[in-house]
Amino acid sequence: MKNFEYLEPTTVAEACSLLQQHAGEAKVFAGGTHLTILMKQGLYEPKALVNVKNIRELKGVRYDSTEGLIIGALTTHRELETSALVQEKFPVLCAAEREVANIRVRNMGTVGGNLASGEPLTDLSQIFIALDGKARIVGPNGQRTIPVEELFVDFYTTSLADDEILTQIMLPPLSPRSGVEYVRFSSSSVVDKPSVGVAVRLTLDNSSETIHVARVVLGCVGATPVRARKAEALLMAKKLTAELAEQAGSTASQECTPTSDLRGSEQYKRAIVRTLVKRATGKAYERALGF
Ligand SMILES: Cc1cc2nc3c(=O)[nH]c(=O)nc-3n(C[C@H](O)[C@H](O)[C@H](O)COP(=O)(O)OP(=O)(O)OC[C@H]3O[C@@H](n4cnc5c(N)ncnc54)[C@H](O)[C@@H]3O)c2cc1C
Q: What is the tens place of the pLDDT at every residue in 217-249?
A: 999 999 999 999 999 999 999 999 999 999 999
> pLDDT band at 3, cuts 50/70/90?
very high
Q: Counting atoms of ligand 1 from 1, which one is nearest the CA of 194?
A: 8
Q: What is the tens place of the pLDDT at every residue in 115-156?
A: 999 999 999 999 999 999 999 999 999 999 999 999 999 999
pTM as predicted: 0.98
Q: Please name the residues in contact with 185: beta carbons below 8 A apart, sequence gap of 6 or more.
A: 194, 195, 196, 197, 272, 276
Residue 190, pLDDT above cutoff 60: no
Q: What DSSP element (H or E) covers 45? A: none
Q: Is residue 160 within 6 Å of ligand 1 at its C-beta?
A: yes
Residue 41 Cα distances to 1, 94, 156, 200, angstroms: 8, 32, 15, 36
Q: Is residue 115 within 6 Å of ligand 1 at its C-beta?
A: no
Q: Is residue 219 within 6 Å of ligand 1 at its C-beta?
A: no
Minimal-distance CA residue to ligand 1 atom 5: 101
Q: Is residue 93 within 6 Å of ligand 1 at its C-beta?
A: no
| pLDDT in the model for residue 105 | 96
Whether 8 and 147 have beta carbons less than 8 Å apart is answered as no
Torsion 254-215-159-28 (CA) sign:
negative
Minimal-distance CA residue to ligand 1 atom 18: 114
Q: Is residue 245 within 6 Å of ligand 1 at its C-beta?
A: no
